[in-house]
Structure 1
Amino acid sequence: MTDLDTRLHGLWTPGRGLQLWGHDEEAFAAAVGARLGVPRGDRRLRRRAEVGVLGDAAADGGASDGHAVRRVSVPAIACAPLTAAGVLGELDPRDPSLGPDLRYLVHVLRGLDRWVQAGRVVPELYRADDEWYARWRLVGGEPQRAWLAELAAVMPPVLRGPQLTQPMVVLEDFVAELTDPLARLRIWADPGPEEPSPDDALLRALVTEEEFAGVGGPVASALEKWRESLRAGEPELVLRLVEPDDADELVLVDDSPWRLEVCLCAEGQAPVSVSLRVPDPHAIRIAVRQLSKALTAYPRLQEVPRDPDSMDLLLPVAVVTDLMTYGAEALQAAGVRVLLPRSWSASATLRLRADTPESPASSAISAVGMDQIVDYNWELALGDVVLTATEMAQLVRANADLVRLRGEWVQADAATLAAAARYVAGQPTGPRNLGALFGELTSAAAPPVPVEEVTATGWLGALLDGAHAPEPVPVPVGLRADLRPYQQRGLEWLAYMSGLGLGAVLADDMGLGKTVQLLALLAHERELPAGVRETRPTLLVCPMSVVGNWQREAARFVPGLRVLVHHGTGRLSGDEFVAQVAESDLVITTYALLAKDRAHLCEAGFDRVVLDEAQHIKNHGTAQARAARAVPARHRIALTGTPVENRLDELRSILDFCNPGMLGSAQAFRARFVNPIEREHDAVAVSRLRAITAPFVLRRVKTDPTVISDLPDKLEMTVRANLTAEQAALYRAVVDAMLEQIKDAKGMKRKGAVLAALTRLKQVCNHPAHFHGDGSSVMRRGRHRSGKLALVEDILDGVLGDGERVLLFTQFREFGDLIVPWIRERFDLAEVPFLHGGVSKSRRDGMVEEFQSEDGPPVMVLSLKAGGTGLNLTAANHVVHLDRWWNPAVENQATDRAYRIGQRRDVQVRKLLCVGTLEERVDEMLTGKQELADLAVGVGESWMTELSTDALRDLLMLTEDAVAE
């Protein structure tokens, strides 16, 4: 399991039944709400369960079967047997949003349902609380025991729970509990006779779940004897496929028939072939009757020749291949057992193996990053067997789907094998650079078969395996900070990547201390020996709002660091600037000046370029992004809590800054990753992308207790307000005007009209005065004109009454200008600071310092863009989002101004929206949407411009409950 695992999982515990659970709170609540109809916020969704997941070490010393299992507390919800049967029956085991444990339970339930449909269930009476009840149970016997044994052998270890319960114990309890509800669901699903009369006591109890009204003991004994008689029935048919007897290592099998033995298997006995030489009439009658069922289930067997001395079928290669691909499944669905050869189907896969020395052939100063030379080669594997060049040539010449490879029969697609062999043969050999290796992994021209693994030795192996810090880095003497364990790990990783000359993305959650980790790296490098230490400075690029913060943090944590701020109208240029840079360790500038002063910065000579809040270069073609890539440097680092805000292209842009060319061209990246992941939710593409990027991205989240255990809780809630009559009238007018405007409009004109209307609707939901922009009063005759602002008043009453502080975020500066005077007057506050894009750097720094002071103002209003990143505002433990941003990542960044290291109180986050409006409907879409592996998030408002006029009308129209005075 990983931090990015948002799938729905299932656990069956004997005595407790089914529990649905998940790692991600939001994804779990959305999935359960969709499938069980449990509303978000329901107390049942706050329950937790303890499950066992595979880990590095078992909590109780490890499992006896070699699996290391650790206990994890996760959100969970319990399902009664009838509910469990219904939920599992509706799930598709191929659904990638389901975890492997839940897919396994769905598979078991489907098998159980086949037994039920086949009539292999019998009634039983049991006693509970001195009353007799009836239930359905499986007949039992050898076929069902064999079925359970096969399932037990492949049970995912997580289903055994933290106590490592035996698989058969779990399975038997699952079957015992769900047979009865499955049988009852089948009874009610099929139209039948009317409800049994009261005189039919047993039938009535089996159909209606009422108590058994008859004499329980004798009936229970009679039913038990009947069940025993059913289990002593005739032997079952078994079809056993036998390979041709051929000793060649690699042979064509077109002329060698495969024998499908017709066997009978009595309970507790091995299968026995049915002979015609020494005939047993009774066995032959049974075999003929059951074989006819098999021939009906899989008609291709009717066309093949038969052995004259037995009932065996002789299959040509084409039928054997079809049997393995389709027929075996059809036969097993009809209740016919099929025994297959031990070694059978194998998929062709590619493997990439690279060899490097233990250390790269460069020092910390001369490292060349993606130009490092590595020796790598492609290999073709069939199953677990890596093929030699001779074997690949033989397979291509054979052009057969069935071959004997190294003494074992293997089925594989001949055309695919040949294409893969040609691909491997066409790859160049010998040493190449690291950039070429990643270029082949990310090329839009995908190999003909999947790349199963990438392995390496030496320093590249350590990088790919996650061993980012082969040697500990001592805490720098010049660092005035106590590093947390994960921050020490970050320092070691940054130093390791710097030594390799490979760009790095430090993608820790907002508030985990990326600043101090980078400063620790600079302090560490200043203390390296003279022959190793780099003398050129580091260029740090950040938003203007946090330039002052970097100055203060550098002076606080590394007092000896020589810092130059390149900002303001009086900033240096030309030779003066180059000379000053040479006397500095850290040069700080802004994104705006990075593009404007690009020529000066390129000439200055930096060892490293660091981008703070690196999402500022998420658009690859902007002037800022081009300037960042243009500044020459040995090493590059990106700091960001949100490497992906809207689209995967943003991740490529950031990584292309760190390691140019690593993810290929923008066009190739879209074809290989963006389209499969964002459009099709392709889990394989996600896995491939994560494997490629993981060595260059270090990601830690605050919710992981192994990262930080002393951060308080964060409670997020959506708070709904009604519109006033005035707001409702304006809302309807905007919608009607837009629908009239787009009636005949097309293209960009239509899109522009829709987007403009969306903005106006947001303004209406905020306040009529915000929509009109006429400077009218917030309230009228003592009553609120906005339901949302009335809600804000209630929230502030509570927060200020408790002596706490609050941050109010809005995406509209005009709305902030409207409410700040009202808040100041309504709550008698001397000052309510409003941080927005028009505030100067010095004033920003002063606002933050004043708010963080012990007697600072209790309320601060911030625009989402200007105040959503880079600020430390832990004096507040309440965050209110006044108007919803359609990108949750942006809202989360703003929330993290308060929810970060240094926060000692639980943080309450309120997201306001208006009932029955566009705000509520889009919120439902955002919160109910499960993003794949946390990589692809919402794409903003643009999707709404593509809706039809009828769909837009349905989306934007007010509901009946929208208005309240």
Structure 2
Amino acid sequence: MLVVHGAWVDGRLGVWAEDTALAPGSASRATFRPHPFAAPVAALGAVLPASASRSPAAAEERELTILLPGSVRGPLPSPESGLARSARSSQSSRISAWRVPALLLHPAGALALLDSLSRPDAEPYGLGPEDEPVWAPGLSLRYFAVVAEHARSLVRRGRILPRLMHQDGEYAARWRPVLTGADPAAIGDLAAAMPRVCRAVPGERPSADVLREALNGLVDGAARLSLPERLILGHRPGTRAPLPDRWLYALTGEDATLTAVRDTEAAALSDALDGWSASAHELDGPVRACFRLIEPAGEEESWKVEFGLVPGRSQAGSGRPPAGADDAGGPVGYLSADQIRAGESAPWLPERPQEVLRADLGRAVRLHPDLYGALRDPEPSSLAVETAWAFSFLRNGAPTLRAAGYGVRLPAWAGRQGLGLKLTTRAVPGEEGSGLERRVSFRLDVAVGDHTITGEELAELAGLRIPLVQIRGQWVELDDQQIKAALEVVEQRGGGEMTMGEVVRKVVDGGDEDLPLVAVDADDLLGDLLSGEAERRLTPVAVPRALEGTLRPYQERGLSWLSFLSGLGLGGVLADDMGLGKTVSTLALLLSEREDGIPLPTLLVCPMSLVGNWQKEAARFAPSLRVYVHHGGTRRRDDGLSAAVRESDLVVTTYGTALRDLGALAGLKWGRVVCDEAQAIKNAAAQQSRAVRAIPARTRLALTGTPVENHLAELWSIMEFCNPGLLGPAKRFRMRYQEPIETRGDKDAAGALKRATGPFVLRRLKTDKTIISDLPEKLEMKVWCTLTPEQAELYRAVANDMLDRIGGSEGIERRGNVLATMTKLKQICNHPAHLLRDGSQLAGRSGKLARLEELAEEVVEEGDKALVFTQYTEFGSLLQPYLAAHLDRPVLWLHGGLSRRRREELVERFRLDDEPMLFLLSLKAAGTGLNLTAANHVIHVDRWWNPAVENQATDRAFRIGQTKNVQVRKFICVDTLEERIDDMIERKKALAESVVGTGEDWITGLSTEQLRELFRLGPGAVS
């Protein structure tokens, strides 16, 4: 199999491949050595889509030099190749340059290849003789596919402008993106998420530079592909034709270059185009105009467009505007022209607001000429308009102005689909089908909201030919396409019979663009499934007699829901909050099925850290279940595995084992496949995600407290595991749901997605008192610590020394120096001995340690227990004996170097021992999967700087079974990098969860001056 990688080189996408049939071997010791297991260009061209590589104009053969980690023997294979485990990686791997044969694809070819990665038939990417994938994309190529989606989105939304570019002595007509509004933040996230290999050709480059070059090229290619015809028809203008004509002609087609260009001509055209670009960015300033459409208050009133001002992006923040139709640019307010004239003010208002408003209005007229009439007034405040004008503004003016960065306020109903479909289904008496094959009668009606529209009313609306009408007191936007589609539904009197499965797919599909599905009325089983209240409406399932324990009321309802879906042959996502008992609910489901005589075993796939937890929970709550753990070097294989599965009710394995033993596991019969911590399969293209999807079973169940961590694509991946094909192809899901919701906050799309996924996702929160009223409170606080003089002196010395090194380094060396600096400064904030590793005494040398001693004393004096998390194993090893001696109490220490048996012994001792004590834990080794409700204090000594990871660790104590309020303390050293990064997280919480969540790599992209400010020691740091 070939693993295809990508890099952006000289305005084109360079693709090269590893051949997994070639074992990684030794290489010569030359300075620039051939990559020992790179595939030849001929093999690469043979597997890529024809539209991408086989046109002579689309691709060029080139040898690239790429920086890769490895040793003197050769580069390390990529994780996607499957060779990484067999290749011996050196502990001290270094970066070396390797030569690889590659194909350079021009933007049109690159777009064709990257689009192919999103097609539903793209996994696997062609099949070989034994149904093995012929090729698979590497992480870098999948990344550029995401960049291509952003480029196409910018082109679709008109966020591009034509430019005249000059490079290497050559002029060219190019399209370039206009990044204003919410787009810069999205592009910033994308740059921070760039895989390292993307920046390693032709040498280490900043991610922002690589992304800018790739986005420019892909936007230019996408714009040329999207233009239906040339901007100037006829023959290509000759070199004597005016430059603007030649430039316009070159904006379409393949050849963008311009020859024989005089510099004076180019300067004049460039100045005009630069001005155009600058005006497109003007609305990113401190204040911008806002247009508010007001509907008539009565029959005698007219529509009105009111003018006003709102804070610009620099005042209201750089994030996307508030969701919904009322887009005023931020929470800080809106002042109409009349309010400004009356003397009302705001901190963000400029000195001459009416002049600013009129100037903005003058620019807006270029985008929506119908506003020109307002300019007749020297101080414009509003414009009275007719219904047709209002409709034009809703359909054309408002989207154009909003896309350009102006504020737009529309009525609450604006933007929502006017006419829609209502689906009514009823059970067929005497129908004997089972599950989703049972037939039901159905009827489709045209509706506005909850109101069904009769044929007569619809005919009357069609005769009015008015685009905006009031129906039963509600304004509705109509167009000819909607009316035509609605009349066809009425004429066909859509109705008949279909299976329940067909109804479910119709609901998930959501109708079409002209007539979306807006309401569903179903009875019987289908009504229970589609109601959105299935958990409460379903007939209760008896708690299995073999369950050792008591289910809470919400868990009993969850059991009924799980049993109901299983009976229909459907999969589901049990997305209860952490600690609400997903494990015991699943075990209760298995016991219930055994009592009903369902014989097939369940395969449960989970992270390795949870294998022991599932064994113990099964022994505790469901001792009658026969459990087999399929993991480790002694696991059974072939006939032995088949026999073990036949004799088991529950087979527990890990994601890694499921991938390695996929062939054996997929060949057995399973009643259900369960994925615990199902966020592990949030990347649909990952090998372990594909592996668990390939294991056949009657039903599937995903368990996760975080069904969406960063992007809606993760929900699609999990749903694709539970009910394959139900949400359609990934590309259609992105177009229909992900992009409208994530980029535009589309409420209609969000409602449609909830309706589509709601029947299959059960989500309950610990904070919901209707779910669980006896869970205590979680009290979070920050503990501010100061440095000792010794810490401060060491901090300054290390920061100055490392900043000098950073300033004198580039590329990967600079990146390594930044990360090393952060680690050293965090270690100093913990304790000087943590950095120095000199075995010196601990007492009296660290502000953090002094505060930890005080808190630890309070905890044990009150008879309580505490969890103390650190991300550094070496620091925990220093703390454990010191705190144990200081407190004269047990201080347990759990870290990744312990055996599973020893880990379980520590957890049991902490749970059962009544003596007050501390449990010191490594964040990586103990941040998930443990139940430690014996503690009611949680202390994060050093921060991971990822809220999701810290919350998971905290939830080891804050979960069901906790009877006391949980106090969570996060240590932060004042006026150091710890406080400054905490400020960044608080200011950009959403960004922290998606970008900072990938680790600390995002900080390495900061400039040296920004790093100097980040690492600076402030005056309040020293005690």
What TM-score does the superposition give when structure 1 sets the normalisation length? 0.58
CA distance in 2: counterparts of 1:944 and 1:699, whole angstroms: 34
After TM superposition, the structure 1 = structure 2 runs for residues 192-203 of structure 1, keeping only pairs within 5 Å, are none
Residue in structure 1 matched with residue 764 of structure 2 by the alignment: 700
**Aligned-residue offset at 1:510:** 2.2
Counterpart contact for 1:543–1:613, Cα < 8 Å: yes
1:847-891 deviations in Å (ceiling 9; x for gaps): 111111134671111122321222121221111112222222222
Shift of 1:578: 0.7
Selected match of 2:653 from 585, 589, 608: 589
Q: Which residue of 1 aligns with 2:966?
A: 907
Provide closer, same or farther for how the CA distance between residues 914 and 647 of structure 1 changes in structure 2, counting only shifts above 3 A. farther
Alpha-carbon spacing, 1:727–1:415, altered in 2? closer, same or farther (3 Å) = farther
1:289 alignment partner in structure 2: none
Amino acid at match of 2:586: L
Flag structure 1 segments of 5+ consecutive residues without an equivalent: 1-85, 120-181, 192-291, 302-314, 328-342
Match of 2:629 in 1: 565
Change (3 A) 1:640 1:183: closer
By how many angstroms is 1:646 displaced?
A: 4.1
Deviation at 1:901, TM superposition (A): 2.2
> Structure 1 residue 713: deviation in Å?
2.4
Cross-structure match for 2:17 = none
Cα deviation code 1:374-432 (max 9, x no counterpart): 89898765677767899989989x8954488999998746477479779999x999958
Find the counterpart in structure 2 of residue 163 from structure 1.
none
CA shift, 1:525, in A, is 1.0
Using the TM superposition, give the Cα deviation of residue 536 of structure 1 relative to its aligned residue in structure 2, in angstroms: 0.8
8 A contact 2:587–2:621 mirrored in 1: yes
Quick one: which amino acid aligns to residue 636 of structure 2?
L
On the 8 A contact 1:468/1:497 being kept in 2, the answer is no
For residues 621-658 of structure 1, give each alpha carbon's deviation from its aligned partner in whole angstroms, at most 9, with x where no partner exists. 33432322222111111222232344444333322222
1:195-226 CA distance string (max 9 Å, x none): xxxxxxxxxxxxxxxxxxxxxxxxxxxxxxxx
**Equivalent of residue 532 in structure 2, options 448, 451, 466:** 466
Distance 2:804 2:432 in 1: 67
The CA deviation string for residues 559-599 of structure 1, in whole angstroms up to 9 with x for no partner, is 32222222343322111221121121112223332223222
| In 1, Cα distance between equivalents of 2:602 and 2:959 | 26
Letter in 1 for 2:1019: E
Provide the C-alpha distance between the structure 1 equivalents of 2:969 and 2:653, rounded to a whole number of angstroms. 35
Determine the structure 1 residue equivalent to 2:781.
Answer: 717
SS in 2 for 1:833: strand
| Distance across 2 between alignment mates of 1:409 and 1:876 | 56
**Alpha-carbon separation, structure 2, partners of 1:367 and 1:357:** 13
CA RMSD in angstroms comes to: 5.2
Does the 8 Å contact 1:778/1:822 carry over to 2?
no
Q: Please give the alpha-carbon distance, in whole angstroms, between the structure 2 residues aligned to 1:359 and 1:759.
A: 70
Query: Residue 667 of structure 2: SS of its match in structure 1?
Result: helix
Q: Distance in 2 between matches of 1:543 and 1:400?
A: 61
Whether the 8 Å CA contact 2:428–2:440 is kept in 1: the answer is: no
CA separation in 1, counterparts of 2:416 and 2:682? 42
Mapped partners of 2:543, 2:923: distance in 1: 37
Gap change, CA 1:654 and 1:776, over 3 Å in 2: farther
Distance in 1 (CA, whole Å) between partners of 2:740 and 2:778 is: 34
Partner of 1:602: 666
Seen in structure 2, the aligned counterparts of structure 1 residues 403 and 640 have a Cα distance that, compared at 3 Å, is closer
Cα shift readout 1:773-801 (whole Å, capped 9, x = no counterpart): x353352xx422x3222221121121122
Maintained 8 Å contact 1:917/1:957: yes
Which residue of the other structure, out of 938, 941, 947, is the alignment partner of 1:888?
A: 947
Does the 8 Å CA contact 2:571/2:699 hold for their aligned counterparts? yes
Deviations 1:256-280 (A, max 9, x none): xxxxxxxxxxxxxxxxxxxxxxxxx
CA distance in 1, matches of 2:625, 2:414: 65
User: 1:843 corresponds to which residue?
Assistant: 902
Tell me, in whole angstroms, the C-alpha distance in 2 between the residues paired with 1:109 and 1:659. 46
Contact kept, 8 Å, 2:325 with 2:414, in 1: the verdict is no
Deviation, structure 1 residue 461: 3.3
* SS at 1:576 equivalent: helix
Q: Residues 916 and 688 from structure 1, CA distance in 2 versus in 1: closer, same or farther, beyond 3 angstroms?
A: farther
Which of the residues 676, 699, 709 maps onto 1:635?
Answer: 699
Matches within 5 A, 1:12-31: none
What's the CA shift for 1:497? 1.3
Seen in structure 2, the aligned counterparts of structure 1 residues 923 and 570 have a Cα distance that, compared at 3 Å, is same
Secondary structure at 1:348 match in 2: coil
Residues 868 and 940 in structure 2, CA contact (< 8 A), matched pair in contact too: yes
Q: Contact between 2:996 and 2:1002, CA under 8 Å: does it hold in 1?
A: no
2:886 aligned partner: 826
How has the CA–CA distance of structure 1 residues 621 and 183 changed in structure 2, closer, same or farther, with 3 Å as cutoff? closer
Alignment-derived partner of residue 250 in structure 1: none
Is residue 512 of structure 1 aligned with residue 580 of structure 2? yes
Counterparts of 2:818 and 2:440, CA distance in 1: 53
The corresponding residue for 2:848 is 788
**Corresponding residue for 1:817?**
877
- After alignment, is 803-812 or 952-961 more displaced? 952-961
Take 2:903 and 2:321, find their aligned partners in 1: how far apart are those partners?
Answer: 46
> Helix, strand or coil: the match of 1:880?
strand
1:566–1:500: structure 2 CA closer, same or farther, 3 Å change rule?
same
Letter in 1 for 2:573: V
Distance 1:190 1:625, change over 3 A: closer
Residues 662-701 of structure 1: matches in 2 within 5 Å? Answer: 662-678=726-742, 683-701=747-765
1:798-855 deviation digits (Å, cap 9, x = unpaired) = 11222221111122223222322222233234x5322222222211211111111134
Cα distance in structure 2, aligned partners of 1:816 and 1:115: 61
The structure that has the greater radius of gyration is 1
DSSP 3-state at the match of 1:541: strand
* 1:351 correspondence with 2:421: yes
Which amino acid in structure 2 is aligned with residue 520 of structure 1? Answer: A
- The 2-side partners of 1:407 and 1:674 are apart by 33
- Unpaired runs of 5+ residues, structure 2, are 1-310, 354-375, 398-412
Which of 488, 504, 516 is equivalent to 2:556? Answer: 488
Q: For residues 414 and 942 of structure 2, what CA distance do their matches in structure 1 show?
A: 59
Q: CA deviation at 1:661?
A: 3.2
**Identity fraction in percent:** 47
Structure-to-structure mapping, 1:394-473, within 5 angstroms? 400-402=465-467, 412=477, 414=479, 417=482, 434=501, 447=513, 452-453=518-519, 456=522, 458-469=524-535, 470-473=538-541
Give the aligned residue type for 2:541: V
Q: Structure 1 residue 853 and structure 2 residue 919: aligned?
A: no
1:136 matched residue in structure 2: none
Cα pair 1:374 1:434 within 8 Å, conserved? no
1:263-662 equivalences in 2 (<5 Å): 348-351=418-421, 353=423, 355=425, 357=427, 400-402=465-467, 412=477, 414=479, 417=482, 434=501, 447=513, 452-453=518-519, 456=522, 458-469=524-535, 470-528=538-596, 533-662=597-726
Aligned to 1:197: none
Give the match's secondary structure for 2:557: helix
Q: Which whole-Å CA distance do the structure 2 matches of 1:660 and 1:639 have between them?
A: 17
Instruction: Give the paired residue count.
Output: 666
2-structure distance, mates of 1:97, 1:349: 25
Amino acid paired to 2:855: I
Q: Which residue of 2 aligns with 1:83?
A: none
| Kept in 1: contact 2:604–2:653 (CA 8 A) | yes
Question: Contact 2:486–2:515 (CA<8 Å) still a contact in 1?
Answer: no
Q: Equivalents in 1 of 2:819, 2:849: separation in Å?
A: 24
- 8 Å Cα contact 1:439-1:661 kept in structure 2: no
**1 or 2 for the larger relative contact order (CA 8 Å, sep ≥6)?**
1
What SS does the corresponding residue of 1:604 show, helix, strand or coil? coil
2:877 aligned partner, one-letter code = D
Instruction: Decide whether the 8 Å contact of 1:351 with 1:451 is kept in 2.
Output: yes
Change (3 A) 1:683 1:394: closer
> Contact 1:832–1:857 at 8 Å: present in 2 too?
no
SS of residue paired to 1:460: helix
1:642/1:889 contact within 8 Å kept = no
Counterpart CA distance in 1 for 2:333 and 2:979 is: 39
Q: How far is 1:916 from its partner? A: 1.8
Give 1:486 deviation, angstroms.
0.9
Distance across 2 between alignment mates of 1:752 and 1:446: 52
CA gap of 1:929–1:344, structure 2 versus 1, over 3 A, is: closer
